[in-house]
Structure 1
Amino acid sequence: MGKRSTIYGALALLLGAAAPLGAEPIKVVTSFSVLEDFARHVGGDKIALSNLVAANGDTHMFQPSPMDGRLVAQADVLIVNGQGFEGWMERFVESTEFDGLLVEATRGVDLIDTEHGEHHDDKDEHHDGEDQHDDEHHDKDEHHADEHDDHHEDTHAKHSDEHQGLDEEHHDDHQEEGGHHHHGRYDPHAWHSVANAKLYVANIRDGLIAADPSNADYYRQNSQAYLAELDALERQLQQQVATLADDQRRVITSHDAFAYLGQAYQLDFTAPQGLSTESEASAETVAKIIRQIREQGIQAVFVENVSSPRLIEQIARETGAKVGGKLYSDALSAPAEGAGSYVEMMTHNISTIVQALD
């Protein structure tokens, strides 16, 4: 599948040359709800957007349907998280004979190495999302993207070769057992850092520009406006977390999805399950967490929207800790639940944590 995405530049040239005025929106498919929200903000009415794993859906356990296969087969652009998050994706896409543009949203992210506690900087030479980390660079967004266009074709062809097979080099130890998938070496839940979300947006912007260069200015303007919104969100979240004392920053959740949130906002997350909701919590791990809660006087534990609450509720009963609320980990909520967009999800999660632990 990696070879298919090497058509990035060629496809961009073809569509750019052939697209008439008033052309139909390009067909874009996202793998799960967070990416759907990012793509909607950047693509606006210039894209026809479909999504595979819906709100409150568990991407780890997802099984694509024949209708999903038809959506992907007809797509001009497919946007995925990568890093093994969608363990079923590579085989699924190969079965659809998708020949459009594959955008891996985690490109450029400083990944957390789950084996060694280190970081892996997944950047190529010409990645242009780096300037999104500082507010002062927002006014350079459009200019920087223009400069980047000159390198776009070579860069993404190079990236595709290096990351063939949905970033196989980052999860060579990824194995299929009984139909279930396991994450590889790097934690894929990178969107829980707003700084990383800006890189996701930059990658999606660049992908849409490559597939639909006639609307490049539109995608740049939309992304610039959304990046400013993310900057405001980051300031708000930092202010909220600053109200917690150092000994109030320990958080117990269902599965290990919040390492990037913890890193960004100085929170200490512990979970009985591993990176995937499919992983089983061992009795030893649960006992260790129970001891930790008692010894450290942790006041609250949290359930997740994609995980069964039973284990966390059991831990709460045995320790006397309260269930501090629901966190949204691997999916957005339905619109009426208050976490139906990325901004709402991040606001909800931090507010829920701070209110329960303060």
Structure 2
Amino acid sequence: MTNIFRRHTITTMLGLAIAALSPALHAQTVAPIKAVASFSILGDLVRQVGGDRVAVDVLVGPGSDAHVFQPTPSQARLVGQAQIVFSNGLGFEGWMSRLLNTASYKGRHVVVSQGIKPIKAEADDHGHGHGHKHGHHHDEADPHAWQAVPNVIAYVGNIAKGLCESDATGCDQYQRNADAYIAQLKTLDTDIRAIWAAIPAAQRKVITSHDAFGYYAHAYGVKFLAPQGVNTDSEASAKGVAQLVRQIKKEQIKALFVESISDPRLIAQIGRETGVKPAGELFSDSLSDAQGPAASYVAMMRANTTALTQAIQGH
């Protein structure tokens, strides 16, 4: 009887253990949600919120330029198979609606900038080539809203909402991930403000390849000038470059940067004409690869802020 009792007890305990493990085992076997993000920065944000419940494919990868992106047939198939698609909006992905139509996409499309008050693209003060057929005009919205951390906090809320609507079972996990990531973003925003606070406002002047930092400028009190407009597919005019060269000399601007997605020759020309040596590379519309200094959104914002403030201070 004792052996029978022991065998029964062991069997019962094994049964209870398996029952306790079954929800976890079931969670591990659930196929992840198929998501597509339009560009690398947004892909990182979706991964932060989605965690292991979401498989994220990115259309415009690290080091590539979404302004001039042309989807391939394989990418159209990828979108057609997705359960949820995330885009920035504000005119950033001019190709998105055509792609969704081509892919016969029937799933959920989340525009992460929804609810954000856009700023207008900079007026054509320096002869910027906004007239290009793919360019943005000065009365259009600047699409680079992610360059201000508070806007990305709003992005994260929209991402979590979209994932919850697509996968109600995972909603608690998405909300927990979003809350944890928002805490990181709030710390990031505080740190950026503290770093700039140490630099006099009159010295906060930077030259970059194109107008991608308007939201950063508004959020952190920095003046950015650029020979191109908000779209890298526009061309800088000779008149605009000449005006910018005069302004750099007059205001003694020290910080001159090329962006990771831009042709460096224009900034190199401006550097030669002003005697200001380019200070390095900024990441505006794209992350770096995994080994680079901007492999995530948080890393990108910290790397850009460090580069900008060190150049202004002459380090």
The aligned residue for residue 261 of structure 1 is 216
Which sections of structure 2, spanning at least 5 residues, go unmatched?
Answer: 1-25, 125-129
Equivalent of residue 184 in structure 2, options 210, 217, 229: 229
Aligned residue pairs, count:
281
Q: Determine whether 1:35 maps to 2:26.
A: no
Quick check: 2:34–2:84 contact (8 Å CA) kept in 1?
Answer: yes
Deviation at 1:335, TM superposition (A): 1.4
The aligned residue for residue 269 of structure 2 is 314
Quick check: 1:87–1:182 contact (8 Å CA) kept in 2?
Answer: no
Equivalent of residue 90 in structure 1, options 89, 97, 100: 97
2:131 and 2:214 mapped to 1: Cα distance? 22
Quick check: 2:211–2:230 contact (8 Å CA) kept in 1?
Answer: yes
Quick check: 1:189–1:258 contact (8 Å CA) kept in 2?
Answer: yes
The aligned residue for residue 207 of structure 1 is 162
CA RMSD after TM alignment: 1.9
What is the 5 A alignment of 1:128-277?
177=133, 180=134, 182=136, 185-277=140-232
The aligned residue for residue 9 of structure 2 is none
The aligned residue for residue 334 of structure 1 is 289
Equivalent of residue 78 in structure 1, options 54, 78, 85: 85
Deviation at 1:300, TM superposition (A): 2.3
Given the two structures, how large is their TM-score scaled by the length of structure 1? 0.76
**Matched residue of 1:339: which SS?**
coil
**Matched residue of 1:234: which SS?**
helix
1:300 and 1:27 mapped to 2: Cα distance? 42
**Matched residue of 2:199: which SS?**
coil
The aligned residue for residue 111 of structure 1 is 118
Greater RCO, CA 8 A, separation 6+: 1
- The one-letter amino acid of 1:329's match is S
- The one-letter amino acid of 1:44's match is G
The aligned residue for residue 57 of structure 1 is 64
Deviation at 1:115, TM superposition (A): 7.1
**Matched residue of 1:323: which SS?**
coil
2:276 and 2:145 mapped to 1: Cα distance? 28
Deviation at 1:48, TM superposition (A): 1.4
1:303 and 1:34 mapped to 2: Cα distance? 18
- The one-letter amino acid of 1:36's match is G
2:239 and 2:95 mapped to 1: Cα distance? 30
- The one-letter amino acid of 1:206's match is K
Deviation at 1:89, TM superposition (A): 1.1
Quick check: 2:63–2:289 contact (8 Å CA) kept in 1?
Answer: yes
**Matched residue of 2:240: which SS?**
helix
1:329 and 1:341 mapped to 2: Cα distance? 12
Deviation at 1:113, TM superposition (A): 2.1
Quick check: 1:28–1:77 contact (8 Å CA) kept in 2?
Answer: yes
Q: Deviations over 1:239-297 (max 9, x none)?
A: 11112112210111000100001111100011110010000101111011101101001
Q: Deviations over 1:182-233 (max 9, x none)?
A: 4771110000000000011110000000000111100000000000000111
Change (3 A) 1:273 1:213: same
1:110 and 1:49 mapped to 2: Cα distance? 27
Change (3 A) 1:317 1:181: closer
Change (3 A) 1:320 1:175: closer
Q: Which has the larger radius of gyration?
A: 2
Quick check: 2:122–2:211 contact (8 Å CA) kept in 1?
Answer: no
**Matched residue of 1:298: which SS?**
coil
Given the two structures, how large is their TM-score scaled by the length of structure 2? 0.86
Quick check: 2:132–2:234 contact (8 Å CA) kept in 1?
Answer: no
Deviation at 1:324, TM superposition (A): 1.3
Deviation at 1:342, TM superposition (A): 0.2
Quick check: 2:68–2:233 contact (8 Å CA) kept in 1?
Answer: yes
The aligned residue for residue 46 of structure 1 is 53
Quick check: 2:132–2:233 contact (8 Å CA) kept in 1?
Answer: no
**Matched residue of 1:110: which SS?**
coil
Quick check: 1:73–1:99 contact (8 Å CA) kept in 2?
Answer: yes
Which sections of structure 1, spanning at least 5 residues, go unmatched?
Answer: 1-19, 118-173
